[in-house]
């Protein structure tokens, strides 16, 4: 078994790799990239998300994990920051994407850890 190194990594969907991402997409067709994983099968990106709703009403957030067929949908209440309990493990260049029921209300902060062989 190979030993993996672990290090913080920049979130590819954030302007500077660390800023929160405002979700403007409202459908799967235009789903917004949160993070694109490392290429290859032996290295992994571990992605954890914190989310919040800057609007006045609950908004549905849909995450696409690697492709549009693998999704998680959750309600995001206004002014109630949440940490998504699920950790997303991505490799082979797969992309974690998001869209919401209302544009520019949901903010996502992605924390990425790079596991490299």
CA dihedral 5→91→46→105, nearest 10 degrees, is 150
Region 26-37: mean pLDDT is 97
Q: How confident is the model at residue 2 (pLDDT cuts 50, 70, 90)?
A: low
Whole-number mean pLDDT of the chain? 94
User: What CATH number does residue 10 fall under?
Assistant: 2.60.120
Residue range(s) defining the domain that contains residue 72:
5-116
Q: Write the DSSP symbol of residue 16.
A: T
Structural domain count, the chain: 1
pLDDT, position 117: 87
Q: What is the number of alpha carbons within 13 Å of residue 44 lying toward its C-beta?
A: 12
Q: Lowest mean pLDDT of 2-6, 84-88, 93-97, name the range.
A: 2-6
Whether the per-residue pLDDT at 86 is higher than 90: the answer is: yes
- Rounded to two decimals, what is the model's pTM? 0.92
């Amino acid at each position: 078994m190979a030993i993996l190194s672990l290090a913080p990594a920049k979130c590819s969907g954030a302007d500077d790799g660390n800023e929160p991402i405002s979700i403007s997409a409202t459908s799967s067709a235009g789903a917004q990239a949160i993070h694109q994983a490392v290429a290859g099968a032996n290295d992994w990106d571990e992605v954890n998300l914190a989310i919040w709703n800057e609007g006045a009403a609950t908004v549905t957030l849909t995450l696409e994990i690697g492709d549009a067929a693998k999704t998680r949908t959750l309600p995001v209440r206004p002014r109630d920051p949440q940490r998504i309990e699920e950790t997303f493990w991505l490799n082979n260049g797969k992309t974690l994407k998001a869209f919401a029921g209302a544009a520019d209300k949901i903010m996502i902060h992605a924390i990425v850890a790079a596991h490299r062989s």
